[in-house]
Structure 1
Amino acid sequence: MSPILSKKAKVALAVGTIILLESEKKKKRVWVKEWLQKREQFTHLRLLKCIQSCEPLDVINYLRMDYDAFQELLMLVKPLIEKKNTLFREAVSVEERLLATLRFLATGRSYEDLKFSCIISPQLLGRIIPETCRAIYNCLRKKYLCIPSKEEEWLKVAEGFNNMWQFENCLGAVDGKHIKQPPGSGSYYYNYKGFFSVVLFAIENANYEFTYLSCRTNGRISDGGVIKKTDFYNLLITDSLKLPQPVNMRGIQNKLPFVFIGDEAFSLMTNFMTPYRQTNSIGYEEKCFNYRLCRARRVVGNAFGIMANRFRIFLTPIATKVDTVDDIVMACCVLHNCLRRKSTSYIQPSNIDTEDIISGTVLIGDMHMNGELISLDVSRQGSPTIDAKMIRNGYKEYYNNADYLLVKISTY
């Protein structure tokens, strides 16, 4: 090789080395942004402790629960979400993980927005929050969310509806709501209302508590078909729910079965009562039955409203991956049940829709002021069976029976 070529080769090698080093320098990034490294200094965990010491009542507005409930929940989820520190960085603490999750559920803010108060990157929040939601659900569901499995448990639910809402043999109020997804969630979730959604199907007891939930139905399914996509429906039509046997009712010739109740979005079945359709030909007796049913069914609408105003993630499109929405929704629902039982102040009389007995009008609660979940539309399915119609007529006759009115009038 000639000396000239050798010199050129050396120059080329040197230039190439410089270019490579400059390129590597540009690619090199810090492990985490500098201000995110100061989590201990700026995180809202410090703010929470300050609020607790100065204004304890404000903790409820901040977390949607009091400080004692937060600490109790923290102990439950800790084994499931705690991470170990590494040689490279300190793990996000259990307290910060739970606090970030509760703020996300309470405000509905995006990960990108939440990072400034949590001092946690959006990418990490995208892992922390779904994981913590799953932990919350798994820790609480056995105690606070379980459908009755024995006849005596169903009878207790029916007793609650009779005592509180004067509707007998009722095993639960049923409803469904659309949970908005962000645009771009995929045509599979694009519904006929013009937005992306999944449907939350729920059954409530008389005390505003969920007893069954399903959040796996995509928004494209017709509202009337939502129930058929649930495990509950399969158990109902195969007589696998261990429901109480039909009973004799005062003044009614045939025994009437225990029933679930819903609005016109669902189909009338032998164990599922819906109102008579509002037409010009509807009579007084049908209106009386509808009044009774709608009065008892209002409990599920109130529960949805209360939960959506406590956890405002429901009032905005949930900007997460589709497969994590179920974790988020189920965590909110089981927290709702838990707080409903533990806190006497969780539901205020002014929050819910109530009835003015004298005027016969419904007084709208505060829960509607900040928005609400979108309901299912009226079902246009086929005609119900003759047996289902006969059972509804039996309940209609019962609620128009003079003896019944004399017995129940004192409870209003």
Structure 2
Amino acid sequence: MESHVQRRRLAVAAVTFILLKCLRKKSQKRKRRFWVKQIYKNRLESGTQLYAELVSDKVEHNFARMNANQFEILCSLLNNKLRKNDTNYRDAITVKERLLLTLRFLATGDSYVSLQYLFRISKQSISIIIPEVCEAIIDLLNDYVKVPSTKEEWRTVSQQFENKWNFPHVIGAMDGKHVAIQSPFNSGNDFDNYKLFPSIVLFALLDANYRFLYVNVGTKGRISDGGVFKSTNLYKKLEKKELNIPPPEILQVPYKIEVPYYILGDKAFQLNDYTMKPYDGTRERGSCERIFNYRLSRARRVVENAFGVLSSAYRVLRKPMLLEPETATKVVLATVHLYNYLRSNPNFISPGTFDTVQENGDVIPGSWRNEPPSQSLQPMAVVPRRATENATTIRSHLARHFVTNHTIVWQNEYQ
């Protein structure tokens, strides 16, 4: 009996000893070999130092698509939105590094792995930084992409179209592009467009000076192109007449037909009271319908040029994005806001970037056309859509107007 009790006590003691040993090991923190990998220790001497050297050589515009002064201004404006606090273990990635990293990504579309070695910042951190900075840029520059709010502002846009592109009552030109992305996880074919690759849609409205007035990004590629426009707030406000657009007016005396103010679109859109589109098919040379199509195509050149220059400046748009739709949407919106923000900078839009239309009607192709075709930005499909009777009458009136009282001398040669 006594030996049995002793054995039991020894077993309990052994189990207790093992448990205490395990708890002691668990409580001891495993000693890390290092807190920051060696490659990231010299972070401040990589990207920012390289940028300082580029500024010294006056070639920083090619690196970040803006000059040093614009970069510093933008950096100071974003400081409160992007600043992180240092810790006892390591210094936070600075606002300057975050912005420079994002601008380089937008300018090149380089992979996170490639940027990791250039800026000495881990790809895991980069995947967090880029969406954050893009979101901050969109919020900061929100007023640079803005739809006119008064009748006077709309009339100014219209007058610019008439003076520059010889097309009256135009309050903007619109188009959409499919932006190729990787297929989202568990999405099936929800994002596949008519060309059978996953995409989100970039829809935009532009003025006569290649400036974005309105942009909508993120619609799934599988939605029809007419559906893309109808999913925007712009369409909803046009339908409800909430945009304060001027009422219809006659083009000139002695006309009696009142012509509404409208947006120029291509064959992918519907012809109605606020959207003007070309005639379908190939019309007889010299006919008013063919001349009308030439004049409309000429005025819509602003959309094609703006998309071309945008993707030329921000090459992240020239290749399929290996990003989730939400992040890709932020990236595209950030490029548009930066484009408008920098439009006044002569270094950003150098002479000859856009197509140049001479006095005799000749068109000198812009330098952006020398770029290889974009693998990412793809046109929308053309879907036949029924026009309203009133809109058809207005288009016929405009077509006759272009061959009677509002001709341009070269229109019969370039049609």
TM norm structure 2: 0.88
- Note the alpha carbon deviations across 1:351-409, whole angstroms, 9 max, x for none: 3334577586673643452333211111223x1110110111111111111x3227999
Structure number with higher helix proportion: 1
TM-align CA RMSD: 3.0
Opposite residue 73 of structure 2, the aligned amino acid is E
CA shift in 2, pair 1:80/1:317, >3 Å: same
CA shift in 2, pair 1:174/1:191, >3 Å: same
Q: Is the 8 A contact 2:171 2:207 kept in 1?
A: yes
Alignment partner, residue 380 of structure 2: 376
CA shift in 2, pair 1:16/1:82, >3 Å: same
Residue identity (%): 36
Matched, 1:338 2:341: yes
Mapping for residues 13-412 of structure 1, pairs under 5 Å: 30-41=34-45, 43-53=46-56, 55-56=57-58, 58-142=59-143, 144-185=144-185, 186-187=187-188, 188-250=190-252, 252-279=255-282, 284-341=287-344, 343-355=345-357, 363=365, 365-372=367-374, 373-381=377-385, 383-401=386-404, 403-405=405-407
SS in 2 for 1:351: coil
SS in 1 for 2:171: strand
CA distance in 2, matches of 1:406, 1:325: 43
SS in 2 for 1:215: strand
CA distance in 1, matches of 2:60, 2:363: 36
- Higher Cα radius of gyration: 2
CA shift in 2, pair 1:244/1:29, >3 Å: farther
- Note the alpha carbon deviations across 1:324-376, whole angstroms, 9 max, x for none: 222211111011011112x1232234333345775866736434523332111
Q: Is the 8 A contact 2:360 2:410 kept in 1?
A: no
CA shift in 2, pair 1:397/1:234, >3 Å: same
Opposite residue 230 of structure 2, the aligned amino acid is K
Opposite residue 382 of structure 2, the aligned amino acid is V
Q: Is the 8 A contact 1:200 1:213 kept in 2?
A: yes
Opposite residue 305 of structure 1, the aligned amino acid is G
What's the CA shift for 1:279?
3.5
Opposite residue 203 of structure 1, the aligned amino acid is L
CA distance in 2, matches of 1:288, 1:280: 9
Q: Is the 8 A contact 2:150 2:245 kept in 1?
A: yes
SS in 2 for 1:350: coil
CA shift in 2, pair 1:407/1:155, >3 Å: farther
What's the CA shift for 1:44?
1.2
CA distance in 1, matches of 2:287, 2:34: 74
CA distance in 1, matches of 2:350, 2:86: 43
Gaps of at least 5 residues in structure 1 are none
CA distance in 2, matches of 1:223, 1:362: 31
SS in 2 for 1:167: coil
- Note the alpha carbon deviations across 1:65-119, whole angstroms, 9 max, x for none: 1111101111111110001111222100010000001011011112222111111
CA distance in 2, matches of 1:319, 1:261: 33
SS in 2 for 1:260: strand
What's the CA shift for 1:248?
1.4
Gaps of at least 5 residues in structure 2 are none
